[in-house]
Amino acid sequence: MRIDYKLLSAASKTFGFPLSEAQAELLDGFFALVTEANEKFNLTALTDADSFTVKHLVDSLAGERFFPLNAKACDIGAGAGFPCVPLAVVRPDVDFIALDSTEKKIVFVNSAVRELGIDNVHGKCARAEDCSDLSALFDVVCARAVASLPVLLELSFPLLKKGGFFVAYKTDISEAETARNALKTLSGVLKDLFSFSLPNGDSRCIMCFEKQKDTPKAYPRRYSLIKKNPL
Ligand code: SAM
């Protein structure tokens, strides 16, 4: 195995769940597929096993606690499959849509999960703001390294059921300050957060927002408006 199983299993233990050797083998297989695909087109800057283990795998797995049993989940801007693919490996009960606007990334995710036999990730190539077909479908929506919090709240809340959670992978809590107006407009509250350090010492904060009311029909707006005039 090229990824660091010892480090990964120690990290998952601190996050509150066990990581079996079979699950680590799957994550190692995913690493091999990402690095192979990376030779043809750019999927990630992290191609050595240690950085991949720490910055992609440990980081993705840290949000596991925010996914209720048997949740239907959507990962907005999943890219090459983070955080949804590592989460799907440790949480076979959760069904993930990996959503990304870049087709080659979704082609990669779909082929990687097929090859690894991971049957709870389904890639969909679309922009989140164009997915009225996914409206109010999910228990959890997550996103890592995609956009600012106000933008992400506007993209994620329409996809959530009332009472569902948006899980934002961020570096620190300070960004929550910028989301006050978005939370008020969309009837969201910061329900929980998990601050931790990666094994390399980098700080991370995963915030969990609850959708308390149906989202007004006006949202999401067109992306040009969301970007130009964030909530
Ligand atoms: N989440 C992955 C990760 O942590 O490695 C990928 C992050 S990458 C920096 C951001 C991704 O978000 C890109 O693949 C981009 O295509 C996608 N993206 C940005 N805005 C989006 C939108 N409105 N709807 C769907 N995908 C979007």
102 Cα–ligand 1 center, Å: 8
Ligand 1 in reach of 127 Cβ (< 6 A):
yes
pLDDT number for residue 60: 98
* Alpha helices, DSSP H, located in the chain: 5-15, 21-38, 49-51, 59-61, 84-90, 103-116, 149-156, 180-186, 223-228
All residues at 6 or more sequence positions from 119 whose CB lies less than 8 Å from its CB, including other chains: 113
- Whether the full predicted model's pTM is greater than 0.95, yes or no, is yes
pLDDT number for residue 39: 87
- 120 with 88: CB under 8 angstroms? yes
How many CB atoms lie under 10 A from the CB of residue 114? 12
Q: What is the pLDDT along the chain (231 residues), one digit of tens a residue?
A: 999 999 999 999 999 999 999 999 999 999 999 999 998 888 877 779 999 999 999 999 999 999 999 999 999 999 999 999 999 999 999 999 999 999 999 999 999 999 999 999 999 999 999 999 999 999 999 999 999 999 999 999 999 999 999 999 999 999 999 999 999 999 999 999 999 999 999 999 999 999 999 999 999 999 999 999 999
Just give the CATH number of 69-228.
3.40.50.150
Residue count of the chain: 231
**Mapped to the 3 state alphabet, what secondary structure does 87-124 carry?**
HHHHCCCCEEEEEECCHHHHHHHHHHHHHHCCCCEEEE
116 Cα–ligand 1 center, Å: 23
Q: Which of 101, 109, 167 to mutate to test the pocket of ligand 1 (most atoms within 8 A of CB)?
A: 101
Q: Domain map of the chain by residue range? A: 69-228
All residues at 6 or more sequence positions from 176 whose CB lies less than 8 Å from its CB, including other chains: 149, 190, 207
48 Cα–ligand 1 center, Å: 22
Of ligand 1's listed atoms, the one at least distance from the Cα of 105 is 14
98 Cα–ligand 1 center, Å: 10
Residue nearest to atom 11 of ligand 1 (CA): 77
Q: What letter represents residue 80's amino acid?
A: A
Q: Which of 100, 106, 108, 134 to mutate to test the pocket of ligand 1 (most atoms within 8 A of CB)?
A: 100
pLDDT number for residue 42: 83
pLDDT number for residue 59: 98
Sheet with strand 188-197: strands edge to edge: 121-125, 95-100, 72-76, 138-144, 160-170, 203-211, 188-197
Ligand 1 in reach of 152 Cβ (< 6 A):
no
pLDDT number for residue 22: 96
Q: Is 19 exposed, middle or buried (0-12, 13-18, 19+ CB in 10 A)?
A: buried
Of ligand 1's listed atoms, the one at least distance from the Cα of 78 is 1
